[in-house]
């Protein structure tokens, strides 16, 4: 069990719909605007909470530059109307940035240093490309063979995981199809409503006839990546995109996306002071490193560590959000955990689909999936849930929550 002086409670958890990068909902929406919306929506879910009581806003972002640079956490907290007294810090652990922000905020409370914190994540892959606007790798990486994996593209690491853990193309495509099937079914059943804050997209187009600007507003309420027409036949026709004779395709990989998510985390004293109702308790977190060239396998190290710190078993998990960076790495993680006695019930892993169908806005994903696990634990009346993912350059992260 981890040592702490008090518990950290989540009193608000929300996210925006996830849009396709480059061509989707948020292609022209600035990431700071997405984050501001999430901050305001989270505060609205905690009536009675004075925003001036928020000590700090910790926000994950995988490529914090350009439109999502300039310490977007602090910029957004001011633009959200929280006042100049609320701090802000932007942190980066690539795909685990959002869940790390949650962990850092919760830990400030658990050790007694704060009473109210905001934790979130944001990423616009439409505006900031993978790797950033100016990727630059240290020459030192290439001096030792064991470090070269740091320079690998994520797709190549997935190919290496598929080969080492013997994950077939057929199994990857079947996993991907199920992700879409579950996501579409969850949408039709309304299972995303509690976790999603709708967003108004404003579209401006010039009227060349009279020089005016036409303004059109539409409200988006659901992730746009899930495809009801996905089929094994269609997936099988896709060519590998990272290795000529490989098995990883665009169809069995996560979608590049835009999105944001956020949580308000408080102490018991703040619960009483502001009359707040807790949704969940933060239980434990673990991060572990793995060889960079097989970074996708990271959760096999982080999950047992997080369970041990929580004093829980894999079978205690009533809902697991395993980020589907690639079908190959997701299957390798699940199979490897099975072989080591940490079996996760497949029906409770991504019941509403995962990143292959829903999208993966990098630094935002951890916060987005934290909102997902909290609301779905409560909806299904389960007790414990987990958010876990692999991380670029060779890491795995896992965070555990208890629904209240």
Let me know: does 38 contact 15? Beta carbons within 8 Å.
yes
Does the active-site annotation cover 61? Answer: no
**Residues 92, 392: Cα–Cα separation, whole Å:** 11
Name the burial class of residue 34, with classes exposed (0-12), middle (13-18) and buried (19+) by CB atoms within 10 angstroms of its CB: buried
Give Cα 188 distance to the centre of its chain.
Answer: 22
Does the active-site annotation cover 390? Answer: yes
Residue 97's nearest CA partner among 358, 306, 395 is 395
Structure tokens at 281: 């308790």
- Site of tokens 């909470």: 49
- Site of tokens 């579409």: 184
Structure tokens at 201: 């997209």
Let me know: does 42 contact 261? Beta carbons within 8 Å.
no
Residue 102's nearest CA partner among 391, 363, 376 is 363
CA dihedral of residues 5, 95, 179, 258 (deg, nearest 10): 110
Catalytic residue among 61, 95, 180, 375: 95
- Site of tokens 């299904």: 380
For strands 213-220 and 199-206, give the pairing: antiparallel
Catalytic residue among 180, 191, 360, 375: 360
Does the active-site annotation cover 360? Answer: yes
Residue 359's nearest CA partner among 254, 250, 249, 209 is 254
- Site of tokens 């303004």: 215
Catalytic residue among 180, 191, 375, 390: 390
What positions carry a catalytic annotation?
A: 95, 360, 390
């Amino acid at each position: 069990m981890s040592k702490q002086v008090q518990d950290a409670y989540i009193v608000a958890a929300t996210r925006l719909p996830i849009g396709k990068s480059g061509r989707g909902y948020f292609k022209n929406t600035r990431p700071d605007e997405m984050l501001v919306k999430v901050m305001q929506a989270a505060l609205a879910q905690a009536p009675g909470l004075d925003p001036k009581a928020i000590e700090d806003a910790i926000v994950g972002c995988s490529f914090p530059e350009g439109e999502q640079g300039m310490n977007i956490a602090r910029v957004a907290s001011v633009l959200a109307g929280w006042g100049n007294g609320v701090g802000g810090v932007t942190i980066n652990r690539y795909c685990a940035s959002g869940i790390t922000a949650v962990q850092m905020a919760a830990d400030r409370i658990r050790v007694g240093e704060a009473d109210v914190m905001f934790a979130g994540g944001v990423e616009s892959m439409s505006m900031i490309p993978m790797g950033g606007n100016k990727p630059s790798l240290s020459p030192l990486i290439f001096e030792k063979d064991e470090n070269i994996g740091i320079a690998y593209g994520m797709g190549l690491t997935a190919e290496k995981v598929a080969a080492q853990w013997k994950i077939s193309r057929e199994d990857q495509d079947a996993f991907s199809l199920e992700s879409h099937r579950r996501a579409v079914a969850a949408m039709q059943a309304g299972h995303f409503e509690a976790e999603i804050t709708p967003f108004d997209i404003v579209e401006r187009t010039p009227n060349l006839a009279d020089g005016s600007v036409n303004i059109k507003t539409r409200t988006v309420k659901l992730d746009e990546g899930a495809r009801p027409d996905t089929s094994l036949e269609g997936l099988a026709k896709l060519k590998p995109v990272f290795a000529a004779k490989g098995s990883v395709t665009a169809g069995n990989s996560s979608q590049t996306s835009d999105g944001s998510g956020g949580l308000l985390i408080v102490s018991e004293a703040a619960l009483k002071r502001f009359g707040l109702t807790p949704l969940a308790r933060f239980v434990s977190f673990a991060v572990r490193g793995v060889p960079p060239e097989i970074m996708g396998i990271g959760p096999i190290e982080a999950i047992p560590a997080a369970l041990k710190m929580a004093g829980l078993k894999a079978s205690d998990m009533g809902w697991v959000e395993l980020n589907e960076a690639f079908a190959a790495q997701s299957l390798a993680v699940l199979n490897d955990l099975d072989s080591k006695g940490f079996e996760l019930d497949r029906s409770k892993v991504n019941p509403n689909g995962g990143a292959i169908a829903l999208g993966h806005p990098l630094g935002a994903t951890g916060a987005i999936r934290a909102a997902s696990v909290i609301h779905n634990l409560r909806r299904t009346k389960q007790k414990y849930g987990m958010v876990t993912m692999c991380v670029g350059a060779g890491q795995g992260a896992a965070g555990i929550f208890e629904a209240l």
